[in-house]
């Protein structure tokens, strides 16, 4: 619905995520649901035309995945660089259509070449856990696209600085 497209999240690696993802590896079932991207993985995301969005990706970014052109792209234009941080946030301009395609670019790397004892020959990018889109016109409820459930908006975790 229009309301669901205004504020939703995709649990990457959980059942139902594959309709939003292209060129991603199979779900990683160790710990929290997640998937590894490839060097150029795509996100196919429903939006409400004419609305500006904020997108947040919860990630694990290995140093091997970083490069000068790594980041989140829309129509060939980089919206945000990829950094060694657990979140990547960008503003999406209003779209004329109800679907956008974003590209997550990273430096491809093979675990067997970078991690002692690994025999994993896949070409990986970054580990992704969750994608959240929020329109500037969104309400406080969050739609979980994987399951079709509505959740109350959760407060972000408190950041406690050392020594305080």
Q: What would the DSSP string read from start to end of 10-61?
A: EETTSTT-GGGEEEEEEEE-SSS-EEEEEEEEEEEEE--TT--EEEEEEEE-
> Which are the contacts of 69, defined by CB distance < 8 A and separation ≥ 6?
78, 105
Tokens of 51: 């609305």
Report whether pLDDT(136) > 80.
yes
Q: Look up tokens 């992704």; give the residue.
A: 128
Q: What is the pLDDT of residues 54-71, one digit of tens each?
A: 999 999 999 999 999 999
Please tell me the pTM assigned to this model.
0.89
Instruction: Look at the chain and count its residues.
Output: 164
Report whether pLDDT(162) > 60.
no
């Amino acid at each position: 619905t229009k309301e669901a497209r205004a504020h939703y999240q995709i649990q990457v690696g959980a059942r139902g995520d594959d309709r939003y993802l292209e060129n991603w590896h199979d779900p990683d079932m160790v710990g929290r649901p997640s998937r590894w991207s490839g060097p150029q993985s795509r996100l196919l995301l429903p939006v409400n035309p004419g609305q500006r969005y904020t997108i947040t990706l919860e990630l694990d970014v290995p140093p091997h995945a970083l490069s000068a052109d790594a980041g989140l792209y829309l129509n060939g234009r980089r919206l945000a660089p990829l950094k060694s941080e657990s979140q990547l946030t960008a503003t999406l301009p209003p779209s004329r259509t109800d679907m956008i395609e974003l590209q997550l670019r990273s430096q491809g790397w093979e675990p067997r070449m970078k991690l002692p004892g690994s025999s994993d020959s896949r070409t990986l990018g970054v580990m992704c856990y969750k994608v959240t889109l929020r329109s500037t016109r969104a309400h406080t409820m969050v739609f979980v696209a994987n399951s079709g459930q509505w959740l109350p908006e959760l407060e972000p975790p408190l950041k406690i600085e050392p020594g305080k």
